[in-house]
Amino acid sequence: MMVPLDPCNKPTSQRRITEGDTVVVYERHDSMRAVTVSAAGVLQNRFGVFRHADWLGRHFGSKVFSSGGVGGKGGRKAGGGFVHLLAPTPELWTLVLSHRTQILYIADISLVVAYLELVPGCVVLESGTGSGSLTTSLARAVAPHGRVYTFDFHDQRADSAREDFEKNGLSSLITVAVRDIQGQGFPDEYSGAADAVFLDLPQPWLAIPSAGTMLRQDGVLCSFSPCIEQVQRACETMRSCFTDIRTFEILLRTYEVHEGALKSATVNEASSEGCSLPGKKRKIRSAGEALDSTQTSSVIARPCSTARGHTGYLTFARKSVQGSQTGAAEVCPTS
């Protein structure tokens, strides 16, 4: 189970792997995959052949070696590669899930969860379930007594997302429904019941009036849009019944940290320091003459050669209340 619902139960990371568990197989920092464990299952990758039967009974986080080769010290298989068996978390699930649509990644998700002010017990409405990347993190934020109601207009995408949530033990936290929120708005049964609303729609301004009706007083709305023109039009609509409107763009820069050798040349030190003796010509090295050098080991940090650029804009707004002295709440216009 990705999110423990009973405080008495051990977190997944502290359990031993059993048949039917979902395991995130960590091959390297840029290569992971989700695998459902079965006694007869076999995983083959560039690091070797791994039998699921060897995983059963091990703790999540274990390092396992491939089945090929001759046994070595500590159970290690000489000449074989290895992988780590990680417990699934919302962050890891974002990296290994099947992409049915473009998804939100960890940097954007973390800002969404923080600015929506989600705590256990909150009720969240989401339009645009997609691949379920954000939905999984929303569920963990409101667990164990909160609820996420997510809507998608595409039947097959909704069914696939529902299967993923059931497999990850999130069915008690997430309800998936098929509905065109842009055209129909959110169901009336959630009116005034939502602590937060998230929109990932091509025309979010069509759903903003309905979102305002669903939110409790002082509730927070977030809209994700890839284009600034969408943001501008959405903000115009928000101004009628929202306040504290802010838009963010996150550009994440990742660094590589590794140990490497640094070389320092020692030939013609006097010349290299710019203090050549008067009356003498600089010695010219022949083509075959090698530099005298020393190597020192050092930890090197540098930006990754490939980095994810623009993903989208996140616009947040808080539902405003007019006439607070008389208790009359503002109603968002529907057109």
Feature table: binding site for S-adenosyl-L-methionine: 131-134, 152, 180, 200
Which residue stretches of the chain are H helix? Answer: 90-96, 106-115, 133-142, 155-167, 181-184, 208-214, 228-238, 269-272
Gap between the Cα atoms of 199 and 211, Å rounded:
9
Gap between the Cα atoms of 229 and 30, Å rounded:
33
Residue with tokens 């284009």: 227
Q: Which two tokens stand for residue 216?
A: 């409790």
What residues contact residue 8 under an 8 Å CB cut-off, 6+ apart?
Answer: none
With both helix axes pointing from N to C terminus, report the angle between 133-142 and 106-115 in degrees, rounded to the nearest 10.
40
Could you tell me which residues are annotated as the binding site?
A: 131-134, 152, 180, 200
Q: Are 65 and 47 in contact (CB under 8 A)?
A: no
Gap between the Cα atoms of 99 and 148, Å rounded:
21
User: For residues 22-31, b (16+ Cβ closer than 10 Å) or e, as one string?
Assistant: bbbbbbeeee
What DSSP character marks residue 188? Answer: G
Q: Are 12 and 2 in contact (CB under 8 A)?
A: yes
Residue with tokens 């007019």: 322
What residues contact residue 239 under an 8 Å CB cut-off, 6+ apart?
Answer: 245
* Strand residues in the chain grouped as ranges (E): 22-28, 31-36, 42-45, 48-51, 62-65, 70-71, 77-78, 82-86, 123-127, 147-152, 174-178, 194-199, 215-225, 242-248, 255-265, 293-303, 313-319
What DSSP character marks residue 14? Answer: G
